């Protein structure tokens, strides 16, 4: 796992690396995945650097709810609520997490099959 200074998502949040932004507020950023696995593949992340959903759960700031609320907003922006979607986060080596800044994948726009990602 990379350190904070090497975090590609922190660099995107800082505007040092471009992204295809879908949504932003003061705590959350969402942008399209550079290697989409579905017609809609958006990454939703807290701007505050943390590695995993376990770190998010440990916070008592309401950020967990903010992430879910942002995800629901984006689902509606992308008009996925009727057809369905998948919202998931990979945590650690066994899940194949490749970027150590917590992010949720929002996938949709086609029939999603296993494996999950």
Residue 48's alpha-carbon distances to 8, 85, 86, in angstroms, are 13, 25, 23
User: Is 101 considered catalytic here?
Assistant: no
| Interacting residues toward ligand AMP by CB under 6 A | 8, 17, 19, 33-35, 43, 90, 96-99
Annotated active-site residue in 41, 101, 103, 105: 103
To ligand AMP, the closest distance from the beta carbon of 107 in angstroms equals 10
CB of 4 vs ligand AMP, minimal distance in Å = 16
Pairing mode of beta strands 21-24, 28-32: antiparallel
Minimum CB–partner distance for residue 35 and ligand AMP (Å): 4
Q: Which phi-psi region, left, alpha or beta, contains residue 50 (left: φ > 0; alpha: ψ -120 to 50)? A: beta
So which residues are the catalytic ones?
103
């Amino acid at each position: 796992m990379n350190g904070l200074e090497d975090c590609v998502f922190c660099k995107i949040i800082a505007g040092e690396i471009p992204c295809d932004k879908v949504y932003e507020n003061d705590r959350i950023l969402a942008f399209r995945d550079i290697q989409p696995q579905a017609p809609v593949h958006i990454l939703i992340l807290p701007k505050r650097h943390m590695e995993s959903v376990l770190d998010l759960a440990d916070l008592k700031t309401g950020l967990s709810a903010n992430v879910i609320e942002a995800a629901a907003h984006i689902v509606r922006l992308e008009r996925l609520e009727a057809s369905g979607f998948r919202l998931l986060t990979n945590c650690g080596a066994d899940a194949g997490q490749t970027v150590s800044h917590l992010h949720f994948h929002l996938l949709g726009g086609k029939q999603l099959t296993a494996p999950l990602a």
